[in-house]
Chains A and B, each alone.
Chain A
Amino acid sequence: MTTALAPHGDLALTDREHRLLAWIATVDHKRIGLMYIGAGLLFFVVGGIEALLLRLQLAQPQANVLDPQSYNQLFTMHGTTMVFFFGMPVLFGMMNYLVPLQIGARDMAFPRANAFSFWIFLFSGIFLYASFLAAGGAPAAGWFSYAPLSEKPFSLNAGQDFWTLSLLTAGIGSVAGAINLIVTILTLRAPGMTIGRLPLFSWMALITSFIVVFALPPLNAALIALAVDRLYGGNFFTPATGGSAVLWQHVFWAFGHPEVYILVIPAFGFISEVIQVFSRKPIFGYSFVAGATVLVGFLSMSVWAHHMFAVGLGAPLDTVFALTTMLIAIPTGVKVLNWTATLARGSIRFTVAMCFVLAFLAQFTFGGITGIMFATYPLDWQLTDSYFVVAHFHYVLIGGTVFAFFAAAYYWFPKMTGRLLSERLGYLHFWLAVAGFNLTFFVQHFLGFMGMPRRVYTYPDLPGWGALNSISTLGGFLFGVAVLVFLWNVLYSLRRGAIASDNPWNAWTLEWATSSPPPEHNFDLVPPVRSRRPLWDLAHPEEADYRSAEAGGERG
């Protein structure tokens, strides 16, 4: 490898330039995956700094840290960054890295399209941030940019156009990436790796990719319509000239709700893998977990108007969307029971990764229950657009997705780098994250009950509001420290971490059958796949899964 890249010939590049080129020009799914994760984490830090600025402003009633317009720009950028430039890329990066390894493939189906997806995401993100330099500054209409506020008469700043175009191009990259994953999973599986033996993370990647393919196009259609309105004087969403303000909401949420499943289903995949290995048991109800998630994928297209209960759609529509939302809650929620049951009669190892999984179970359940409260739509008539919503979705996105990502990071870091993350720093990271996260967002439920609307740059000094907000800010900074510890752990362990063996956790899926980190071509030899846990079968031929039909084996 290195010799092939050694500087010679007309290129006459230095070693350093070669190394850079090896990344920039790569079509290797592992390098692309790592670049996705690295860039996503950078955006996470930027979005996190924005969040802390917001929290500083809210720490006291009528504080003067940020003027209203800056506050509005920062929450818009924070939300947009976290959803489109941290959440999706980091999850796409993990899928990119892991799926080909888990299914025993050499690379993704379309390696060049894969590189295209990454670069278009990165440039979309940079483009979005360039809006800070544009006339009128960054966008300020919120991450769902409701029309007509996002229309020209009310948002004159060029930043709003940056927002529209940046999401449009990012969306094209996501759809390309999703198609790539679907084709990879459907066509490049190793011999013996039937769909019924797909590791659960790869199952979740498959379902997520299908949702991306169906959900992103409505967003892109809406974005184009908005761009036409703003740049060429169209009238899609401007009531004053015959458009409809509510239309934007329908189309946006037709994307927006599936989007939250795009952000959480890969997390289900992380949890499913890690919990098996550290309770030393196969998942309880494999087909149930996979099947229920397929159901979630379908249903996710039918729940969008539960974001619109306050629009006044009328009783019949409210009821129908409450029904579909209740329906989707079932397959989403009961997976928690499968994970819990997987723990039973296991031999549980409290590694840092496992600690994050266990915290996920409690926090995600909590976020799910507050979600059910919104589906009970008369409650939504009180809670929507209040701080209760902010608390709810951060419970799902941080308590759920981000915690699951941390678990995944500790679990797969040795495979990706050949070194283990420090467990000592890991426990510190874990406890700071649990304390900081819950402190920040638990109290916000009460602010919602008390009548504090979301997206306000300040608030009157009503009894209790200042105190609860101060606690929330304190927690936010604690969580910030947790993230710093994590990043330090990554940088430190990259150089000094303990050397990892090929399979440091005694795991069972194919990615652990190759070296850590894997060679460019992934596998010298793919082990035989005769059940869902090929490496278990290799290690325990007498009790091999392939002897049992129940375990997805070859029926004895």
Chain B
Amino acid sequence: MLAEETSKDTLCYGGLRQLVPGRPEAGVFEPVSPLARSITDLFVVVMTLGALVLAGVTGTVVFFGIRYRARPGDDEPAPIYGNRRLEIAWFVIPAVIVAGLLGLSIVTARAADPPTTGTPDLVIIGHQWWWEVVYPQNGAVSANEIHIPTGRPILVQLESIDVIHDFWVPQLGRKMDAIPGVANRFWIQADLPGVYLGACAEYCGTQHAWMRIRVVAQPPAEFEAWLQQEARPIAPPATALARQGQALFESKTCANCHAIDGRAQRPNVGPNLAQLARRETIGGGVIANTPENLARWLANPGSIKPGSLMPDLNLTQQEVAALVAFLDGRP
């Protein structure tokens, strides 16, 4: 049941492909930044070398297997106890190869993970099981969906509220752990506008699977416009139903966990909902953000994302409708 419904919903990923250039689901071999590209180039070198070694070893094994297979009437073959010179050679040759790889690693590491000086463009905080996204520039706060301007490196500061998480968007750059008590910094970049998918890569508990990341890279002007918008508080309720939703948001304790002022970082037990309507998915990517899905989520988050830390508040259908009207903002 659940499976059927949710898999239909994730068709939104497929739909996206027609809207944006590039393939949002592409992995490490379709980098869109110099940071990620440096790693991809190293992949090509190491995998080529590896393929040669593998072909050499298996080829020799197969050749010996055929050439020296036992034939009826074989005598015991003469023993060969070793060959010092050969053995030294095959110690030294791999040593040279790995020394080369180490050199390449150091060079690539510089390109993929340059020194992290300056003030962060983005502060990302891992929560069980969603990402809080803060823009120090104007204080805007979002969740799971991260907008960045194209064409320049973005300095990210990564933190965690609870357990260890890991931020990984393969097309944009390296992955990095989000560790409680530690502020890790690293760079990401996208040269092409588009949507880039990623996920939490460090196992972090029950819903580790649905702690996905969507990075939306936009041309700088478009991004600036988005950012201004993102910092605004939730739209004032326009209908009676939405006004009722606003009241419920207080009375049903939603406000204890969620902020609805776009700049408010507290409370942050759950995602900031001020600009929820503009996000593509809810629940860390588990379903598409449509009014119907939002209603399903509010009616019982655990049926969509079992184990989620958002409680089931036993809302009536009418209350759900009112909250959707308030949060979704689309009249």
Contacts and interface: CB of A to CB of B under 8 A. Distances in A.
A462 B307 CA distance: 24
A340 interface: yes
A539 to B, nearest CB: 9
B27 A378 contact: no
B280 interface: no
Contacts of B199: 451, 453, 456
Given A63-B3, A369-B50, A449-B29, A284 B98 contact: no
A14 B292 CA distance: 72
A68 B109 contact: no
A366 B54 contact: yes
Contact of A361 (B61, B71, B98, B202): B61
A458 B209 contact: yes
Contacts, number: 296
A363 to B, nearest CB: 10
The CB with the most chain B CB atoms within 10 A, among A244, A348, A376, A384, is that of A376
Contacts of B83: 284-285, 341
B99 to A, nearest CB: 8
B306 A67 contact: yes
B90 A344 contact: no
Interface in B181-196: 181-182, 184-186
A530 to B, nearest CB: 15
Interface string A314-331: 010011001100110111
Given A280-B77, A378-B109, A385-B166, A451 B198 contact: yes
B221 interface: no
B81 A450 contact: no
Contact of B180 (A61, A245, A346): A245
Contacts of A382: 28, 39, 43, 168, 170, 174-175
Interface in A57-93: 60-64, 67-69, 72
Interface string A441-485: 000000001110111111111110000000000000000000000
A461 B13 contact: yes
Interface in A300-323: 310-312, 315, 318-319, 322-323
Given A379-B46, A451-B28, A344 B80 contact: yes
Contact of A286 (B7, B43, B54, B82): B82
B13 A462 contact: yes
B209 A68 contact: yes
Contacts of A454: 201, 203
Given A318-B109, A340-B61, A68 B25 contact: no
The CB with the most chain A CB atoms within 10 A, among B11, B71, B101, B185, is that of B101
Contacts of A323: 102
B269 interface: no
B282 to A, nearest CB: 14
B241 interface: no
Main secondary structure on chain B at its contact with chain A? Answer: mixed
A327 B98 CA distance: 8
A378 B39 contact: yes
Interface string A349-389: 11000000010011001100110110111110111111000
Given A319-B106, A376-B46, A245 B76 contact: no
B105 A378 contact: yes
A152 to B, nearest CB: 12
Nearest to B93: A334
Interface string B101-133: 110111011101100000000000000100000
Contacts of A142: 203
Contacts of B77: 279-281, 345-347
Contact of B61 (A280, A358, A459): A358
Contacts of A343: 61, 64-65, 68
A282 B186 CA distance: 53
Contact of B6 (A62, A148, A240): A62
A287 B88 CA distance: 12
A246 interface: yes
Contact of A284 (B80, B91, B306): B80
Contacts of A154: 128, 162-163, 205
A458 B3 CA distance: 10
The CB with the most chain A CB atoms within 10 A, among B46, B87, B207, is that of B87
A245 B205 CA distance: 15
B85 to A, nearest CB: 11
Given A347-B76, A449-B29, A456-B209, A284 B179 contact: no
- Chain B interface size, as a band, is 35 or more
B276 interface: no
B68 A344 contact: yes
A310 B205 contact: no
Contacts of B50: 369-370, 372-373
Contact of B179 (A68, A140, A311): A311
Interface residues of A, number: 98
Given A62-B3, A67-B306, A453-B168, A365 B29 contact: no
B19 interface: no
A457 to B, nearest CB: 5
A148 B78 contact: no
Given A146-B202, A149-B163, A369-B50, A377 B177 contact: no
Interface in A511-550: 540, 545, 548, 550
Contacts of A288: 82, 87
A121 B106 CA distance: 44
Nearest to B171: A451
Nearest to B98: A326
Nearest to B102: A326
A311 B106 CA distance: 17
A337 interface: yes
A149 B54 contact: no
A205 B83 CA distance: 25
A375 B108 CA distance: 13
Contacts of B108: 378
B147 interface: no
B202 A381 contact: no
Contact of B81 (A61, A385, A453, A548): A548
B10 interface: yes
A54 B307 CA distance: 19
B200 A329 contact: no
Contacts of A108: none
Contact of B60 (A61, A340, A550): A340
Contacts of A331: 91
Given A340-B61, A463-B25, A312 B74 contact: no
B204 A149 contact: yes
A336 interface: yes
B7 A246 contact: no
B142 to A, nearest CB: 20
A365 B52 CA distance: 12
A312 B176 contact: yes
Contacts of A233: none
29 contacts: A62-B2, A64-B3, A67-B306, A146-B164, A149-B204, A154-B128, A154-B163, A245-B180, A246-B182, A282-B81, A312-B176, A318-B109, A333-B94, A347-B69, A365-B57, A372-B50, A379-B42, A379-B43, A381-B39, A382-B43, A382-B170, A386-B168, A450-B26, A451-B170, A453-B208, A457-B209, A461-B11, A462-B13, A462-B197
Give 3 nearest A-B pairs by CB, closest first: A239-B181, A381-B174, A456-B209
Given A340-B61, A375-B98, 14 more contacts: A68-B207, A282-B81, A310-B166, A312-B177, A319-B102, A341-B80, A369-B50, A372-B50, A376-B101, A385-B175, A455-B203, A455-B208, A460-B10, A550-B81
